[in-house]
Amino acid sequence: MTTSKPRVAFFVTCLGDQFFPEVGECAVRVLRRMGAEVLFNPAQTCCGQPAFNTGYRDEAREVAARMLDLFDDADYVVTPSGSCSTMVRVFYPELFAHDPARLEKAQQLRGRFYEFSEFLVKVLKVEDVGASFPHRVTYHDSCHLLRELGIAEEPRRLIRAVRGIELVEMQDFRLCCGFGGTFSVKFPEVSVAMGEDKVRAAVEAGAEYLVANDSGCLMHLAGVIHRRGLPVKTMHLAQLLAQTEEAADPRLAAPAIEASRP
Amino acid sequence: MTETGIQSAHIHERTEEIFKKPQLQEAYRSSTLRLYTHRLQAIGEVPGFEALRDRARALKREVIEHLDEYLAQFADNVERSGGKVHWAETGDDVCRIVREIAQQAGVKEFVKSKTMVGEEVELNHALEAAGIRGVETDLGELIIQLAGDRPAHIVAPAIHKTRQDVSDLFVEHLHAERTTEPERLTAIARRALREAFARAEMGVSGANFAVAETGTIVLVENEGNIRLCTTSPRVHVALVGIEKLIPRFEDLAVFLRLLGRSGTGQKLTVYTSLLTGPRRAGEDGPDEMHVVLVDNGRTAALADEKMREALYCIRCGACLNACPVYRKIGGHAYGWVYSGPIGALITPQFNGIGVARELPFASSLCGACREVCPVRINIPDLLLHLRAEAQNQASPAPSGGSPRGERVSMRLWAWAMKRPRIYSLGGRLARWGQKFYARQGWIRKLPLFPMSRWTEGRDFPALAPQTFRERWKKLT
């Protein structure tokens, strides 16, 4: 056991910063509760993924290059997003393949860059984070987390350790929800139809909450739910794990999207 | 008249069209799901299946990295066993070669087994123009030939046709009695095909594998029509994409265990034919065996060190069955003979990104395709590369919008993201602007393309009143 607190730089992601600050707050609360010292560098913006996934590699590289220098003072970088983790860990080395100096920095960053649930289970070695949530939930594997990083068990272990919770699996739980970054606006009808399938599966599983680790998937699914008025709510895993029996902050007791809405 | 050429530019219109046909979407959904489930069951029975995939990938890699040597070895061995080798650079070359073979042998009608290369080069059209008629003998291919369609799936070309559709086609074209019973429909096709087999003097096939070591063509099937096509007529012509090679005969053991299971969930297909040269004295089989080695864009794919991985594909169709996008838009939306994730890859690779620049974007990059690919092609990664290639072209931005709109907005975005203060200012401006659109935290209609497309089918969350960075101060 280490005696000093691990120093964790928090990467909130651009989507998290602008749309879902409560997700970031919850992640920070849980990390602190588990004994981490959390730092936040306000110079951070985006990891560059939107440009990269749309084929604008030069633009992505410019934005990504900034990220390489932002977290030097921390032992770890943690982000509540599987897809931003994938961008840094899988695609940065590819993006900087022809730039030896940056490639080295990218490799160095990659080695201490973790997705939130992965960090809790693999680095802090905790599963029970002291959360309580007496509801029936289902977990959606976002694709980057599942297939690029191979993280499927960690979030489930964390969920199962929550007091009072019931975790049910959806039909085809490994199937993509249809968000896909800019795919969501390039092929909107396909994206929405895939989202409807996912939400239907959650409803059919009898879940009150559809939990995932990526705000992109969640905002897409919540958008489908809200448009159709469907009987299920979305929630980020960080929000779920922040719920405790004595949760004083009413914002934290509310589900993802609604929480921040006045 | 069957569609010809590459129609990939129409993927958006075709996507819209299929959304008006829920029955067609349901046909794709249920059929792909069935094949997907069968695959899962079949691979569960094989100990070491993952190691088998690694082995297959290593073998394909070996072949593709040394394709020139393996091709020369294969061609030598075909000739040594009495076959004739033809080299075809383009689709037109393939058609010309087959036409000349047919004309020299005095062939007026030929039987054809399922060959994706044949579809790719539009062989039936070309030969028909020369007065030589081809009859498709694979049941699925026969159905789409009668319908004037293109294959909607790599291994199940008529996946989009219902029993009723097939019945209508058989009544109209084969003058058959009306029935929707699968057994009776099969019997009708069988009757018509037997006559064609009896008449035909040439059989055209593809190849699933071509063994360099022995010059053997390997074909797998369930109906028996391939065996008839390749052995009963006087002349057999095999169309072989140059990427179909495998090094040694023993390597077949690896690929045959993978192909059936990945494609249809079968341990082995019903028939596996191994053909080495024409018939020998005292044996049955064709007098002439021709092997046409087809490039048709493959060397263009080979030229790119990274992208050549797509040539490992053994055309099992597993990626189509696993793909949630293919399940929604179907095969014809992709606009060429190859569809699904592998079609989105090789259509631009073989034909140039210019004619198929939309295809790499028709993916949520979920990676389900890579998960099932027997040779582990990293399809999402290759699609990302093609997206970059598409954007580097000086023609209109893929997927709509003004030609330069997307590029300009991406440049602007990158400029802002490099400057935290501009980024924050942008957020504040958007917060001010959204007052006119947001109601109770949600936006029902976004004004600007492409975001206006988001709200066509779902709502968009309003920006939070305060950003995380603003709230961070209170958190500490």
DSSP per position, B203-261: EEE--SEEETTTTEEEEEESSSHHHHHHHSSSEEEEEEEGGGEES-GGGHHHHHHHHHH
Cβ atoms B210, B74 nearer than 8 A = yes
DSSP A80: S
Q: Which structure tokens are listed for A145?
A: 């987390």
Question: How many angstroms separate the CA atoms of B427 and B421, rounded?
Answer: 10
Question: How many angstroms separate the CA atoms of B23 and B10, rounded?
Answer: 21
Query: Which of B329, B432, B435, B469 is the best residue to mutate to test the A interface, defined by the most A CB atoms within 10 Å of its own CB?
Result: B469
How close A23 comes to chain B (CA, Å)?
9
Average pLDDT, chain A: 93
pLDDT of B449 = 86
Please return the burial class of B373, using the count of CB atoms within 10 Å of its CB with bins 0-12, 13-18 and 19+.
buried
Closest partner CB to A54 (pick from B363, B381, B410): B410
Which residues contact residue B93 at a Cβ distance below 8 angstroms, ignoring those fewer than 6 apart? none
User: How many other C-beta atoms lie within 10 A of the C-beta of residue B148?
Assistant: 10
pLDDT of B118 = 98
Residue A148 pLDDT greater than 70, yes or no: yes
pLDDT of B448 = 86
From chain B, pick out residues whose CB is under 8 angstroms from the CB of A144.
367
pLDDT digits (tens, 9 = 90+) for B352-380: 999 999 999 999 999 999 999 999 999 99
pLDDT of A257 = 45
pLDDT of A174 = 96
DSSP A5: P
For residues A159-169, give the mean pLDDT. 98
From chain B, pick out residues whose CB is under 8 angstroms from the CB of A17.
427, 467-469
Of A212, A85, A220, residue with least CA distance to A140: A212
Question: How many angstroms separate the CA atoms of A122 and A126, rounded?
Answer: 8
Query: Which of A10, A13, A18 is the best residue to mutate to test the B interface, defined by the most B CB atoms within 10 Å of its own CB?
Result: A18
- Ranges under pLDDT 70 in chain B: 1, 394-403
Residue A173 pLDDT greater than 70, yes or no: yes
User: How many other C-beta atoms lie within 10 A of the C-beta of residue B128?
Assistant: 12
pLDDT of A245 = 85
From chain A, pick out residues whose CB is under 8 angstroms from the CB of B472.
40, 42
Question: How many angstroms separate the CA atoms of B8 and B339, rounded?
Answer: 10
Nearest residue of chain B to residue A178 (CA atoms): B364
Which residues contact residue B414 at a Cβ distance below 8 angstroms, ignoring those fewer than 6 apart? A51, A56, A59, A60, A62, A63
How close A238 comes to chain B (CA, Å)?
14
pLDDT of B404 = 74
pLDDT of A262 = 32
> A151 — contact with chain B (CB < 8 Å)?
no
Instruction: Indicate yes or no: pTM above 0.90.
Output: yes
Which residues contact residue A242 at a Cβ distance below 8 angstroms, ignoring those fewer than 6 apart? A25, A26, A27, A29, A30, A131, A252
Interchain CB contacts (distance < 8 Å): A and B: 199
CA geometry: angle A221, A227, A229, nearest 5 deg: 95
pLDDT of A260 = 37
At A99 the three-state DSSP class reads coil
pLDDT of B405 = 84
Question: How many angstroms separate the CA atoms of A9 and B61, rounded?
Answer: 41
Q: Test B468 with A16 for CB contact under 8 angstroms.
A: yes
DSSP A184: H
Cβ atoms A67, A36 nearer than 8 A = no
Cβ atoms B48, B261 nearer than 8 A = no
Q: In DSSP terms, which residues pair with A39 in a beta bridge?
A: A9
pLDDT of A211 = 98
Strand arrangement of the beta sheet that strand A136-139 belongs to: A166-168, A136-139, A209-212, A233-236
Chain B residues 15-34 with CB within 8 Å of chain A: 15-16, 19
> A185 — contact with chain B (CB < 8 Å)?
yes
Complex ipTM: 0.95
> A16 — contact with chain B (CB < 8 Å)?
yes
Residue A258 pLDDT greater than 70, yes or no: no
Question: How many angstroms separate the CA atoms of A102 and A65, rounded?
Answer: 7
First CA to last CA across chain B, in angstroms?
A: 71
Chain B residues 396-455 with CB within 8 Å of chain A: 398-400, 406-407, 410-411, 413-414, 416-418, 420, 423, 427, 430, 440-442, 444, 450-451, 453-454
Of B196, B194, B169, residue with least CA distance to B180: B169
How close B137 comes to chain A (CA, Å)?
35
User: How many other C-beta atoms lie within 10 A of the C-beta of residue B412?
Assistant: 13
